[in-house]
């Protein structure tokens, strides 16, 4: 990035009158264009009668053009990498399994793996798998070093906010067109607002799975959370599927599917029971199971929930994701990929994959996006667990290194959704409380150092009208996510994949966590800078 751009001068100065006008334009645009959440009410009424605008930023956030282009370019390599990991059963068994891997010490991962292992032993009938992915990045700008792109994590299940991120990018473009942002900055011009067509991109991936199933009249099943507030992000995909692909969607929770899902014992076809008032036969055939839930242990409070997940996995419907692909998204996999030779195993094995499109420079680009990582269970040989230290309760190399470098680290478990990590000064006490046998479920990762001084105006809907009009100026950190999808499996190793748009989530700098749904971040968009 050119040295001319100064993050500490962002956002540009506004008068109170200008700030109030932008806030009004933003919130009314959001309410008018489906940039919405359901209000914080439990239980949610069966038929919603109110909505609030999603948390958002007033300005787009600056992001170096060359690093934005890099993130988009390497997404296709990441899509193929994780598809191949999901097809490598031996690798997943070793790293994530309940016999030798993370599943030994993490009950949630262990339950999923055991169910998947039994289904494999019985014989899975659908070889195709579908993934909707999101690779998340932060800008890394330590003192006296060039700014670079570093990966936070790679998500393989329930990647969210694609639709609302497109709407946020459209919001910021509307503010530019309608107000020119009051000429507050020369960087705020149309060429620096990249297009974002995430709705079409993600729906295109779901449509590819549906077409591969190839049964007329079948529908896509969205497996959703009870009391879900982020329904509009999902509904925009549903509308796109219907309007552009003539594909219908049915929405069910795990609790509902426990009573409505049926797998034909002869054909393995998945049907969902419904009223004959809604469908003549009372049965809807499912082409693709798309999970917008099922990624956290609290979503499986009873054995019935696991039974339902395994029932769906047993069927002929294409899963998005399969259990294998969900396991591939584990933080332990992310850490193992940093070890020597692992990327080459999946991206350079011509004997297994044929003459590959992934030349060495593409592997180098992926490796350059990694931060330093290691497992808490590791000895000096990072490929092998320090089992003697674990058995004796002594601290192995992984824990000792985490203690020594705690101020510059984050510890991550095998969890999605935000709010699960342990940061910096909290690490020593956490390590004191962590039973030795549970270390295998955690990784240590060097903290990314974002640019200093960047700010923005954050707007969250409050419980009263006046609160919803307040824009809070604060120093922020912005996280870029790049979406992609992959359809793979079948009779070989071929992967059909595409990059599918992007998002920016922005949070106050003092917040360690970053989820929008968990209340830490707001939706934002990209302003390209050189």
Residues 6+ apart with CB under 8 A from 365: 70, 73, 74, 77
Active site residue 197: no
Rounded distance between C-alpha atoms, residue 223 and residue 405, angstroms: 41
The answer to whether the annotation marks 419 as part of a ligand binding site is yes
Catalytic residue list contains 155: yes
Decide: helix, strand or coil at residue 195. coil
Catalytic site includes residue 285: no
Annotated ligand binding at 280? The verdict is: no
- Cα separations in angstroms, 199 against 72, 133, 207, 366: 16, 13, 12, 26
Distance CA(431)–CA(428), nearest Å, equals: 5
The reply to whether 414 sits in an annotated binding site is yes
**155 is annotated as contributing to ligand binding:** yes
Cα(48)–Cα(225) distance, rounded to whole angstroms?
15
Half-sphere exposure of 510 (CA within 13 A, CB side): 2
**Does 234 count as an annotated binding residue?**
yes
Cα(404)–Cα(397) distance, integer angstroms: 10
Q: Is 323 annotated as a binding residue?
A: no
* Residue 72 appears among annotated catalytic residues: no
Residue 505 marked in a binding site: yes
C-alpha pair distances (Å), 183 with each of 26, 97, 177, 178, 180: 17, 57, 11, 11, 6
- Ligand-binding site membership of 230 (annotated): yes
Q: Which residue in the list 104, 331, 362, 439 is annotated as catalytic?
A: 331
Distances (CA, A) of 4 to 1, 187, 327, 359: 8, 11, 43, 34
Residue 295 counted as an annotated binding residue? yes
Residue 412 is a catalytic residue? yes
Is 219 annotated as ligand-binding? Answer: no
Torsion of CA 80, 82, 83, 87, to 10 degrees: 130
Name the catalytic one among 65, 76, 115, 153: 153
Q: How far apart are CA 18 and CA 135, in angstroms?
A: 35
Q: Is 229 annotated in some ligand binding site?
A: yes
159 is in an annotated binding site: yes
205 is in an annotated binding site: no
Catalytic residue flag (residue 104)? no
* Residue 375 β-bridge partners: 443
321 cis-preceded (ω within 30 degrees of 0):
yes
Q: Which residue in the list 65, 76, 117, 134 is annotated as catalytic?
A: 134
Q: Pick the catalytic residue from 155, 369, 456, 478.
A: 155
Catalytic residue among 204, 379, 417, 508: 417
Question: Residue 268, annotated ligand binder?
Answer: no
Is 294 annotated as contributing to ligand binding?
yes
**Do strands 443-446 and 422-423 pair parallel, antiparallel, or not at all (unpaired)?**
unpaired
331 is catalytic: yes
d(CA 510, CA 209): 41
Catalytic: 505? yes
The single residue of 160, 187, 478, 525 carrying the catalytic annotation is: 160
Q: Which of 219, 335, 505, 525 is catalytic?
A: 505
Give how far Cα 476 sits from Cα of 83, 235, 472, 514, 521, Å: 34, 30, 11, 11, 10
462 flagged as catalytic: no
Do residues 19 and 457 make contact, with C-beta atoms less than 8 angstroms apart?
Answer: yes
The verdict on whether residue 248 carries a ligand-binding annotation is: no
Q: Is 479 annotated as a binding residue?
A: yes
Confirm whether residue 188 is marked as ligand binding: no
153 assigned ligand-binding residue: yes
Residue 446, marked binder: yes
Instruction: Tell me if 34 is assigned to a ligand binding site.
Output: no
Q: How far apart are CA 511 and CA 390, in angstroms?
A: 33
Binding-site annotation, residues for Mg(2+):
153, 155, 416
Catalytic machinery residues:
134, 153, 155, 160, 331, 412, 416-417, 505
Binding-site annotation, residues for ATP:
153, 331, 412-421, 423, 445-448, 479, 507, 513
Binding-site annotation, residues for substrate:
134, 157-160, 228-230, 234, 292-295, 505, 516-517
Binding-site annotation, residues:
134, 153, 155, 157-160, 228-230, 234, 292-295, 331, 412-421, 423, 445-448, 479, 505, 507, 513, 516-517
């Amino acid at each position: 990035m050119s040295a001319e751009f100064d993050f500490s001068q962002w956002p540009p100065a506004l008068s109170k009158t200008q700030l109030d006008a932008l806030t009004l334009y933003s919130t009314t645009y959001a309410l008018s264009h489906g940039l919405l959440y359901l209000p914080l009410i439990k239980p949610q009424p069966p038929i919603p009668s109110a909505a609030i605008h999603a948390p958002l930023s007033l300005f787009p956030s600056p992001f170096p053009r060359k690093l934005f282009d890099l993130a988009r370019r390497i997404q296709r390599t990441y899509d193929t990498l994780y598809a191949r990991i999901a097809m490598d059963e031996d690798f997943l068994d070793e790293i994530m399994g309940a016999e030798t891997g993370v599943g030994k010490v993490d009950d949630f991962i262990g339950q999923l793996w055991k169910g998947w292992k039994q289904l494999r032993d019985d014989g899975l009938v659908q070889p195709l798998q579908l993934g909707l992915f999101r690779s998340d990045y932060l800008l890394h700008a330590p003192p006296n070093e060039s700014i670079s792109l570093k990966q936070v994590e790679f998500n393989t299940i329930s990647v969210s906010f694609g639709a609302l991120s497109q709407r946020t990018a459209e919001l910021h473009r509307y503010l530019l067109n309608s107000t020119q942002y009051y000429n507050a900055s020369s960087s705020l011009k149309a060429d620096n607002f990249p297009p974002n067509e995430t709705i079409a991109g993600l729906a295109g991936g779901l449509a590819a799975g549906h077409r591969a199933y190839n049964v007329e009249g079948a529908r896509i099943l969205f497996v959703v959370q009870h009391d879900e507030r982020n329904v509009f992000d999902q509904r925009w995909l549903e509308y796109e599927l219907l309007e552009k692909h003539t594909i219908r969607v049915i929405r069910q929770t795990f609790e509902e599917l426990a009573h409505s899902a049926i797998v034909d014992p002869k054909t393995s076809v998945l049907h969902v029971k419904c009223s004959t008032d809604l469908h003549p036969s009372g049965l809807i055939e499912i082409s693709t199971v798309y999970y917008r839930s099922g990624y956290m242990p609290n979503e499986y409070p009873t054995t019935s929930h696991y039974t339902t997940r395994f029932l769906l996995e047993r069927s002929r419907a294409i899963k998005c994701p399969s259990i294998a692909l969900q396991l591939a998204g584990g933080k332990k996999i992310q850490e193992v990929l940093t070890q020597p030779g692992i990327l080459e195993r999946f991206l350079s094995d011509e004997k297994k994959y044929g003459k590959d499109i992934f030349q060495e420079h593409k592997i180098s680009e992926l490796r350059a996006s990694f931060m330093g990582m290691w497992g808490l269970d590791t000895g000096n040989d990072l490929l092998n667990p320090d089992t003697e230290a674990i058995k004796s309760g002594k601290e192995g190399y992984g824990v000792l290194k985490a203690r020594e470098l705690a101020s510059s680290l984050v510890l991550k478990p095998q969890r999605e959704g935000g709010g699960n990590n342990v940061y910096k000064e909290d690490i020593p006490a956490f390590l004191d409380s962590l039973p030795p046998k549970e270390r295998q479920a955690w990784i240590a990762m060097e903290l990314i150092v974002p640019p200093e001084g960047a700010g923005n105006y954050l707007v969250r809907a409050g419980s009263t009208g006046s609160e919803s009009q307040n824009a809070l100026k604060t120093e922020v950190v912005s996280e870029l996510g790049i979406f992609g999808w992959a359809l793979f499996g079948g009779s070989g190793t071929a992967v059909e994949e595409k990059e599918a748009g992007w998002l920016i989530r922005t949070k106050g700098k003092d917040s360690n966590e970053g989820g929008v749904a968990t209340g830490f971040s707001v939706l934002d968009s990209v302003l390209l800078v050189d």
